[in-house]
Structure 1
Amino acid sequence: MRPITRPVAALSAVAALLALAGCAEKADAGDDAIRVTATDTACETSRTEIAAGHLELAVENKGSKVTEVYVLYPDDRIVTERENIGAGTKANITAEIQPGAYEIACKPGMKGDGIRQKLTVTGGKAAKRDPRLDEAVAAYRTYVREQAEETLPKAEAFTEAVKAGDLAAARKAYAPSRIGWERTEPVAESFGDIDPKVDVREDGLEEGQDPEKDWTGWHRLERSLWKDGKITDRDKQLADRLLADLTDWQRRVGTAQITPTSMANGAKELLDEVATGKVTGEEERYSHTDLVDFKANVEGAEKAYTLLRATAEKNDAALVKRLDAAFADLDKKVDAYRDGPGSHDFRAYDTVREADRKKLSDAVNALAEPLSKLAAAVVGK
């Protein structure tokens, strides 16, 4: 989960990334798009009713704060989202939507429940879908389930080490326990309630939450293991809580709403995770295991892209050529920091020089821009 308050040293880099991301999506939206104008105090939409099928949002952030825009089911599950829309920038969001009642939410400052507008989706003609996309969704659903199932024993090893008071073992087990989550985080975030329990950082807590009472999950334990250098009775309780929440995630992940466009948008969200947390060194600020998360995010994005690639190539071969090259370049740059054969064997991020971080950042930017167009290519828009 991405917080807003960031260390001063990282602000300029993040601002540049967000500005680039916004500038990359200024292509004109279709005539049937819903125009969303977001400010610090309002979320205005040009339409409140559309026919089922393809949904396109043309978002413009006219506020002074970074914002995010969601389309939500009545129970607050996420249909689609776009985070980190910088002040003064635009973003186009493409998704698939069924008949029903929904809400469009703008979250200035990326905090709280957001400013909401009702959206009614009426019965419409189902959009024609390439049969390969159904196969892609089925394969991706299997992948997500596998990642959750593989995470649980690793999380159990981590939490058992914490409960045993074994600082060294807990530190060793921490990063591996997060890989499956980081590969599939957009699916977990679609439920709305799990991510804040397991992956929030202290500066991502909502206003009024007490870090000592309300902060739970991996990063709370990360602080104890590396910054405090000790394991308390409270940490042992938090370990049990983390495992219970991850078990809940594993049980529920098979029920997630997955569509070809949610896969494509999720891949872009994973690159946003890299740009706003991993490249800056904020995600794992105590353990400095950011490169493990970085690689997992990229792997998850690449998995979704690979499954969608055939259809995207049919509709936009030039885009696929760019994506192939950008993924290959980013993979090569990240893998240069491996220090062992395991999926978690990477250098500590605090040993990576600023100049080298810039190279990683540039490679992320080179991939993020074309990846933002994948959803539109998948549906042939």
Structure 2
Amino acid sequence: MRAVRLSVATAAATAAALAAVTGCTEKSEAAGGDRVVEVTATDSECKVSKKEFPAGHVQLDVTNKGSKVTEVYLLFPDDRIVSERENIGPGTRQKVTAEVKAGDYRIACKPGMKGKGIRQDVKATGGGEAAKRDPRLDAAVASYREYTQEQADGTLPRVKVFADAVKAGDVAAAKKAYAPSRIGWERTEPVAESFGDIDPKVDLREDGLEEGQDLEKDWTGWHRLERSLWKDGKLTDRDSALADQLVEDLTDWQNRVGKAEITPTSMANGAKELLDEVATGKVTGEEERYSHTDLVDFKANVEGAEKSYALLKPVASENDAALTKELDTQFAALDTLLDKYREDKGKGGDGSEDSYEFTSYDKVGKAERKELSDAVNALAEPLSKLAAAVVATK
């Protein structure tokens, strides 16, 4: 599952804001329909309204009746993620549209956003085929698959530069290489996280360790090295080993990206997840707490979301022209706002060159962070409707 990105206390504070902008208090338009599964999450239960539903498009209508912030996942039996929604605050509702073939699945609720969660086995019934698609959506999936592979392929050389600097004990060079090494991952994070086991190895934050895990033995990946570079100010033999492991784990990711399950709805939901990542980690400054390179991650998350949207837009605009007009406006506004913090006006937006630099986030004031948060929320609200627009029929 995805590594915890923020403390439970912070999640509780941000979930209400997220709920307000994702339409999570709305009633399911198809409540009671055979393709709607009502999921009731509490601190100790994960109840589902039905254990079987037709293959094709399914909607999870999630209500959190517990006291803790929760996450809900639709999983393959091997724990790969079909779809997910994080940071569902107490007393709020969110809807997730997914596309599934006939077969066995699990729905998992994770109160407190840790552990494997409370699980229910469910089944999609039918002839084994997914819902019929507009051919343009098949083309969008193919293009997005190429994009994710390109991002993974482009990440490895930059990660090796970072790892080599760490192993050489060159703190200054490693600091310079750190943020660029993360861009491809941040652009395609939902696909990377769909495998379940890679994300905790490479992108876990210090406060994301599970109970019983050891800080020194079990914490690996970028953020462990980030702490050594910016907090400790020195590199050890342990850091050299961690650098080699990071390259190994990301090579595994590179080799597996092409096998990821990608659908039009997972692309749309992934775009929304990337905005939630920004809202709950980057805007708060928790993601890059030592390096303060949050705005590089922030920009990469937005670029990844915008890529998914651009590929899905031809179909979504026919089904909901008002929605895509609003998304165009809000993406442009957020891009313009982020450019205010660019210190290197070089390239980076097309994935071919990633040399851009941003203001250190510890120099971004409270009012400016609020402005960024408001822009993210203004985009997240319409973006939460993209999956439904993609599968709508006129």
Q: TM range, normalised to the smaller chain?
A: over 0.9
Residues 338-377 of structure 1 correspond to what in structure 2 (within 5 A)? 338-340=342-344, 341-343=346-348, 344-377=356-389
Q: Which residue of the partner structure matches residue 187 of structure 1? A: 191
Do the aligned partners of residues 93 and 216 (structure 1) sit closer, same or farther apart at CA in structure 2, a change above 3 Å counting?
A: same
Q: Which residue of the partner structure matches residue 103 of structure 2? A: 100
Superposed CA deviations along residues 184-212 of structure 1, whole A, max 9, x for unmatched, are 00000000000000001010111111111
Post-superposition offset of 1:16: 4.5
> Is the counterpart of residue 170 in structure 1 residue 171 in structure 2?
no
Post-superposition offset of 1:317: 0.7
Alignment counterpart, residue 72 of structure 2, candidates 58, 69, 93: 69
Contact kept in structure 2, 1:133 and 1:260, CA below 8 Å: yes
Post-superposition offset of 1:51: 1.2
Post-superposition offset of 1:87: 1.0
Post-superposition offset of 1:23: 4.8
Alignment counterpart, residue 56 of structure 1, candidates 37, 56, 59: 59
Distance 2:281 2:173 in 1: 25
Post-superposition offset of 1:6: 3.2
Aligned partner letter, 1:50: F
SS in 2 for 1:357: helix
Contact kept in structure 1, 2:51 and 2:122, CA below 8 Å: yes
Contact kept in structure 1, 2:140 and 2:311, CA below 8 Å: yes
Aligned partner letter, 2:334: L
Aligned partner letter, 2:288: E
Q: Which residue of the partner structure matches residue 258 of structure 1? A: 262
Post-superposition offset of 1:2: 5.2
Q: Which residue of the partner structure matches residue 246 of structure 1? A: 250
* Alignment coverage as a number of residue pairs: 380
Contact kept in structure 1, 2:149 and 2:258, CA below 8 Å: yes
Q: Which residue of the partner structure matches residue 18 of structure 2? A: 18
Aligned partner letter, 2:26: K
Post-superposition offset of 1:133: 0.2
**TM superposition score normalised by structure 2:** 0.93
Distance 2:91 2:384 in 1: 18
Alignment counterpart, residue 337 of structure 1, candidates 330, 338, 341: 341
SS in 2 for 1:281: coil
SS in 1 for 2:338: helix
SS in 2 for 1:76: coil
SS in 1 for 2:105: strand
Contact kept in structure 2, 1:22 and 1:90, CA below 8 Å: no
Would you identify which runs of 4 or more consecutive aligned residues in structure 1 move more than 6 Å?
Answer: none
Contact kept in structure 2, 1:24 and 1:369, CA below 8 Å: no
> Is the counterpart of residue 6 in structure 1 residue 18 in structure 2?
no
Distance 1:286 1:271 in 2: 22
Q: Which residue of the partner structure matches residue 121 of structure 1? A: 124
Q: What are structure 1's unaligned runs of at least 5 residues?
A: none
Post-superposition offset of 1:222: 0.1
Distance 1:20 1:250 in 2: 36
Contact kept in structure 2, 1:23 and 1:89, CA below 8 Å: no
Superposed CA deviations along residues 285-342 of structure 1, whole A, max 9, x for unmatched, are 0000000000000000000000000100111111111111111111111111000025
Contact kept in structure 1, 2:69 and 2:112, CA below 8 Å: yes
SS in 1 for 2:191: helix
Superposed CA deviations along residues 236-271 of structure 1, whole A, max 9, x for unmatched, are 100000000000000000000000000000000000
Post-superposition offset of 1:20: 2.2
Alignment counterpart, residue 326 of structure 1, candidates 327, 330, 339: 330
**TM superposition score normalised by structure 1:** 0.96
SS in 2 for 1:175: helix
Alignment counterpart, residue 111 of structure 1, candidates 114, 118, 122: 114
Do the aligned partners of residues 7 and 229 (structure 1) sit closer, same or farther apart at CA in structure 2, a change above 3 Å counting?
A: farther
Do the aligned partners of residues 50 and 136 (structure 1) sit closer, same or farther apart at CA in structure 2, a change above 3 Å counting?
A: same
Distance 2:325 2:266 in 1: 21
Residues 140-179 of structure 1 correspond to what in structure 2 (within 5 A)? 140-179=144-183
Greater shift, 16-25 or 135-144, is seen at 16-25
Distance 2:329 2:339 in 1: 15
Alignment counterpart, residue 38 of structure 2, candidates 35, 39, 50: 35
Do the aligned partners of residues 240 and 200 (structure 1) sit closer, same or farther apart at CA in structure 2, a change above 3 Å counting?
A: same
Contact kept in structure 1, 2:64 and 2:93, CA below 8 Å: yes
Post-superposition offset of 1:22: 5.4
SS in 2 for 1:63: coil
Contact kept in structure 2, 1:22 and 1:89, CA below 8 Å: no
Greater shift, 80-89 or 335-344, is seen at 335-344
Aligned partner letter, 2:93: K
Aligned partner letter, 1:74: P
Aligned partner letter, 1:274: V
Q: Which residue of the partner structure matches residue 291 of structure 2? A: 287
Aligned partner letter, 1:86: G
Q: Which residue of the partner structure matches residue 275 of structure 1? A: 279
